[in-house]
């Protein structure tokens, strides 16, 4: 992971974005981690990232998994047209 200071990030954002397309880039402020720049190859990457970090979506997944553990589901083969 490459690291840049916030000053460099302000003055060289194009370079940082190019680097982020290949790997995550850490931005530091006063010598401490402040942010990470992540590149996306396509819209699907962006969509996946949003879902993986959406609290409502993750809560829904957890609820669905709990319902499945309790046996509260309909098997695909039981669905009809």
Length of the chain in terms of residues written: 81
Q: Residue 76 falls within a domain, yes or no?
A: no
Q: Residue 8 falls within a domain, yes or no?
A: yes
Q: Residue 79 falls within a domain, yes or no?
A: no
Range(s) of the domain holding residue 33: 2-37
Q: Residue 48 falls within a domain, yes or no?
A: yes
Q: Residue 13 falls within a domain, yes or no?
A: yes
Q: Residue 81 falls within a domain, yes or no?
A: no
Give which of 14, 17, 42, 44 is closest to 25, Cα–Cα: 17
Measured CA to CA, the distance from residue 25 to residue 17 in angstroms comes to 8
How many domains, in total, are found in the chain?
Answer: 2
Q: What is the DSSP-derived secondary structure letter of residue 77?
A: G
pTM of the prediction?
0.63
Are residues 27 and 6 located together in one domain of the fold? yes
Q: Residue 14 falls within a domain, yes or no?
A: yes
Q: Residue 78 falls within a domain, yes or no?
A: no
Q: Going residue by residue through the chain (81 aa), what tens digit of pLDDT does each one get?
A: 999 999 999 999 999 999 999 999 999 999 999 999 999 989 999 999 999 999 999 999 999 999 999 999 888 888 876
Tell me how far the alpha carbon of residue 58 is from its chain's centroid.
Answer: 12
């Amino acid at each position: 992971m490459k690291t840049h200071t916030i000053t460099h990030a302000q003055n060289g954002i194009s370079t940082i974005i190019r680097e982020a397309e290949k790997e995550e880039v850490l931005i530091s402020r006063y010598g401490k981690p402040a942010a990470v720049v992540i590149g996306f190859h396509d819209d699907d990457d962006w969509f996946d990232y949003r879902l993986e970090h959406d609290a409502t979506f993750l809560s829904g997944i957890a609820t669905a998994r709990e319902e499945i553990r309790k046996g509260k589901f309909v098997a695909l083969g039981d669905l009809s047209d």
